[in-house]
Structure 1
Amino acid sequence: MKYIAAYLLLTSGGNTSPSAEDIKTVLSSVGIEAEEDRLSALLTELEGKDISELIAEGSTKLASVPSGGAAAPAAAGGAAAGAAEEVVEEEAPAEEKEESDDDMGFGLFD
Structure 2
Amino acid sequence: MNFLAAYLLLVAGGNTAPTAADIKKLLGTVGVEGEESRLTALLAGLEGKSLDEVIIEGSSKLASVSSGGAAVAGAAAAAGGADAAAEEEAKEEEKEESDDDMGFGLFD
TM-score (norm 1): 0.57
CA displacement at 1:34 relative to structure 2: 3.6
1:42–1:61 CA distance, 2 compared to 1 (3 A): closer
CA displacement at 1:40 relative to structure 2: 1.4
- Contact 2:46-2:54 within 8 A present in 1 as well: no
Distance 2:53 2:64 in 1: 17
Residue segments in structure 2 that go unaligned for 5+ positions in a row: 77-84, 86-108
Distance 1:3 1:25 in 2: 11
Q: Which runs of 4+ in 1 moved over 4 A?
A: none
Distance 1:4 1:66 in 2: 23
CA displacement at 1:42 relative to structure 2: 1.3
Larger radius of gyration: 1
- Bigger share in helix: 1
Paired residue for 2:103? none
Paired residue for 2:25? 25
Distance 1:61 1:24 in 2: 28
Paired residue for 2:47? 47
Q: 1:69 aligns with which of 68, 71, 77?
A: 71
Residue segments in structure 1 that go unaligned for 5+ positions in a row: 76-110
What is the Cα-based RMSD across aligned positions, in Å? 2.1
CA displacement at 1:33 relative to structure 2: 2.2
CA displacement at 1:60 relative to structure 2: 2.3
Distance 1:6 1:24 in 2: 9
Give the counterpart letter for 1:21 in structure 2.
A
Give the counterpart letter for 1:48 in structure 2.
G
CA displacement at 1:22 relative to structure 2: 0.4
CA displacement at 1:51 relative to structure 2: 1.7
The percentage of aligned residue pairs carrying the same residue is 61
CA displacement at 1:15 relative to structure 2: 0.8
The 5 Å alignment of 1:1-110 reads 1-67=1-67, 68-71=70-73
Distance 1:65 1:32 in 2: 29
CA displacement at 1:66 relative to structure 2: 3.4
